[in-house]
Structure 1
Amino acid sequence: MINDIVSPPTYDTIEGIPTPSANDFLAGHQDNVEFLVQAYKSGRMHHALLLEGPQGIGKATFAFRLAGHILQYPQVVHAPLHLNKPDYTTSLYRQIAGGMHPAVLHISRPFDQKTSKFRTVITVDEIRKVTHFLTRTASDDGWRIVIIDPADDMNRNAANALLKTLEEPPAKALFILISHSAGRLLPTIRSRCQALRFKPLDNGSMRETLSRIGSHVGLDTGNADYMQSLLARSEGSVRRALLMAANGGLEIADTADAILAAPVFDVPKAQNLAQVLTGREAEVQYHLFMEHMLNLIAAKACKYAQDGFVGAADAWSRFWHKISDEAAETMTYNLDRKQAVMLVLQKTHLATHGDLFGAM
């Protein structure tokens, strides 16, 4: 990690935490590391990689690490069979970290100057930069690497624009698509990529990573009980653990769980939680709550599927999609978040206590 280079902020930047382009520590995922390093060394690496897995487990850090590896060793015969740790004393890695390397294009949600916020989608204008980037910089016969993070956020026009480039990729161009929810990608895009599944980090990797960077958000890694609860709630995602530690995420999850567990829906308690989650400075807390609720619903669907109750699994899956769509509409159209919190709590409480179809 480096302190003297300012990396371009993105929609998911956490204050005090290095961005993936400036992060020199990568935990886990050794099977994917070895596979791609060997694929590159042998000259058999696919021109489009799809890195799939939950948010916050190191996919973007891995993408930038791989980009640096390829640019450091443009001739595959010289490439080692391990992924080098970034050396931020060199111009190569300093340029990558600062978003200034001419051979690396990072596409993410654009910043809207009018609203002073990052947009909720990747637009077609952002994808058009890819064509310009590949055309403008192809004269030196070097590698050109496009990182789209996350590809799930492309709207339909953006996805269709990217598809055209993936169908006829230029020589020595590598696309790295990062996906937190691959089901949101066009099947035609998926079919043109080599997918690699990244698993949530195990507790050992989580502890190691959080011990390195957790102090930046006030994380007390020496508190065994707190850490055990945080690891259980964060589900192998470093990002989720950091956000929960910095924004009262454990308290939010515990309160929501208590409301859902009660036999009678506790309106005053739900209203108090909704008030906390929808204050002027509570955007992160609101997202943590919605993510927690969606994870609970998804877990229900998975459990029913594993136990062989296909009908129930399908119903809970449809319920997840309904809540997810409503949450997205609240964000897109700037609807009343307090009402959104109350509704998702009421509907999930109703579903949890036996009336799933009534909740839908």
Structure 2
Amino acid sequence: MSRARAPEPIAEEDALAPRRNPDLTGHEDAERLLLDAWNSGRLPHAWLIGGPPGIGKATLAFRFARFVLSQGHEPPDAGLFGAPPPPASLALSPDAPVFRRVASGGHADLLTVERQRDEKRDRLKRDIAVDDVRKIGPFLRKTAAEGGWRVAVIDGADRMNLSGLNAILKILEEPPPGALLLLVSDNPGGMLPTIRSRCRKLTLQPLPEETVLNLLSQHRPDLGGEDRAALARLAEGSIGRAIGLAEAGGLDLYRELIGLLGTLPRLDITAAHAFGDKLTRKQDDGLYETATDLLVWWLARFVRSLARGAWPAEVVAGEAALMTRLANARGLERWVEVWEKVQRHFARAESANLDRKQVVLNALATLEAAAT
């Protein structure tokens, strides 16, 4: 997540893509840490940027990559008499040549590695190809084409297999001079300890709900205020998730799902079959993935809230009453088992390519059995 091509105008619909996004909101402390590391003259050669999906990790990585590529070979010597003041921001104008070359994938000193698209299934592949990872070492060892730094960004670093991780470890053990490696990961804890120990770690936190709401107002002004508020709550601090759900029709699916669960403890079988038909009418429209993700998310939210002894603010009306009814039917331990069982059920079904409608019906039946 390298595609070298001539610079092109930045399309408005691509403005939120991390390599093209000039803005980053809510991570000022992380930006300051990166800037201070640069200005110190002792920039670590590798950073592991972690945190939940969709909160701006890759946007920050490309923001820093653009900054470094625009600065020349060495960080400024802030202590040198007469030297220009050190940079005070990572921001680069979208009109700057470096920005536009990075945005178009045409900067000779930047290599981006990410999951590629499976053309047959029209979705991203599960893992980053090891051959793509192995390009990083030779790339970073080359002399910079523009006389500055060589930068590699691995977007989705936790998606590397063991061979890919070992290839990265070799780079970290003997980092080339003038090279910067930025690893972006939703799950840094799942990476090899030897990799984590050789990187400077930077963990980003979920965005405040109000920030997500403001960003939705900016990027999706077509949405009504009630829908924006519901999406901001569903997103749990992830603007990427909020926008993704908006584009996938996730809010309508969630409302339908809560309405269906609201018929528990006696599930409305007719409605359940209609819901399953809707999700599986087409294999490539993403409704099945969105709905199953929302069901697992809701169960996790319910379990966490039950453990705390307080219900969260409702995304849609009726959730609190539903949670109360289910909590009265079974205790925390049983609902934790249900949550874990449904997660495993969806994971096994996907790997075994089982009938998706039946998978959904079986998951709903598991909830019904626990609620009865």
TM-score after normalising by structure 1: 0.81
1:158 aligns with 164
1:240 aligns with 241
Q: CA offsets per residue over residues 230-266 of structure 1, 9 Å max, x none? A: 2111212112221222222112112222333421233
CA contact (8 A) 1:302 1:313 kept: no
2:268 aligns with 266
2:52 aligns with 54
Which one of the candidate residues 68, 71, 95 is aligned to 2:69?
Answer: 71
2:357 aligns with 338
% same residue: 34
Amino acid at match of 2:260: I
Amino acid at match of 1:83: L
Q: Residues 318 and 59 (structure 1 numbering): CA distance in 2 closer, same or farther, change over 3 Å?
A: farther
CA distance in 1, matches of 2:149, 2:106: 15
Which one of the candidate residues 285, 298, 302 is aligned to 1:296?
Answer: 298
Q: CA offsets per residue over residues 256-282 of structure 1, 9 Å max, x none? A: 223334212333222222222223265
Structure with the higher helix share, 1 or 2: 1
CA contact (8 A) 1:41 1:81 kept: no
**1:98 aligns to 2:104 (yes or no):** yes
Deviation at 1:65, TM superposition (A): 0.6
CA distance in 1, matches of 2:22, 2:183: 20
1:23 aligns with 21
Greater Cα offset, 124-133 or 187-196: 187-196
CA distance in 1, matches of 2:127, 2:105: 20
Which one of the candidate residues 186, 191, 205 is aligned to 1:199?
Answer: 205
2:153 aligns with 147
CA contact (8 A) 2:14 2:20 kept: no
2:281 aligns with 279
CA contact (8 A) 2:50 2:202 kept: yes
Deviation at 1:340, TM superposition (A): 2.8
CA contact (8 A) 1:57 1:237 kept: yes
Deviation at 1:110, TM superposition (A): 1.8
Could you say what secondary structure the match of 1:94 adopts?
Answer: helix
CA contact (8 A) 2:19 2:103 kept: yes
Which one of the candidate residues 5, 19, 22 is aligned to 2:9?
Answer: 5
CA distance in 2, matches of 1:129, 1:330: 34
Amino acid at match of 1:234: A
Amino acid at match of 2:56: G
Could you say what secondary structure the match of 1:196 adopts?
Answer: strand
CA distance in 2, matches of 1:81, 1:321: 47
**1:83 aligns to 2:86 (yes or no):** no
Deviation at 1:6, TM superposition (A): 5.8
CA distance in 2, matches of 1:115, 1:249: 21
Query: What is the CA RMSD across the aligned residues, in angstroms?
Result: 3.0
Could you say what secondary structure the match of 1:45 adopts?
Answer: coil
CA contact (8 A) 1:110 1:126 kept: no
> How many equivalent residue pairs?
335
Q: Residues 205 and 116 (structure 1 numbering): CA distance in 2 closer, same or farther, change over 3 Å?
A: closer
CA contact (8 A) 1:142 1:172 kept: yes
Amino acid at match of 1:206: V
Which runs of no fewer than 5 residues in structure 2 stay unpaired?
1-6, 77-83, 310-330
CA distance in 2, matches of 1:70, 1:30: 17
2:195 aligns with 189
Q: Larger radius of gyration, structure 1 or 2?
A: 2
Could you say what secondary structure the match of 2:111 adopts?
Answer: strand
Amino acid at match of 1:5: P
Greater Cα offset, 115-124 or 169-178: 115-124
Q: Residues 200 and 19 (structure 1 numbering): CA distance in 2 closer, same or farther, change over 3 Å?
A: same
Deviation at 1:192, TM superposition (A): 2.4
Greater Cα offset, 57-66 or 241-250: 241-250
CA distance in 2, matches of 1:166, 1:320: 39
CA contact (8 A) 2:46 2:199 kept: yes
2:141 aligns with 135
Which runs of no fewer than 5 residues in structure 1 stay unpaired?
8-13, 355-360
Q: Residues 269 and 230 (structure 1 numbering): CA distance in 2 closer, same or farther, change over 3 Å?
A: same
Amino acid at match of 2:99: Y
CA contact (8 A) 2:46 2:181 kept: yes
Q: CA offsets per residue over residues 200-243 of structure 1, 9 Å max, x none? A: 2123322332233215xxx32xx322222221112121122212
Deviation at 1:350, TM superposition (A): 4.2
Could you say what secondary structure the match of 1:280 adopts?
Answer: coil
Q: CA offsets per residue over residues 282-313 of structure 1, 9 Å max, x none? A: 54322222322232333345446657xxxx98
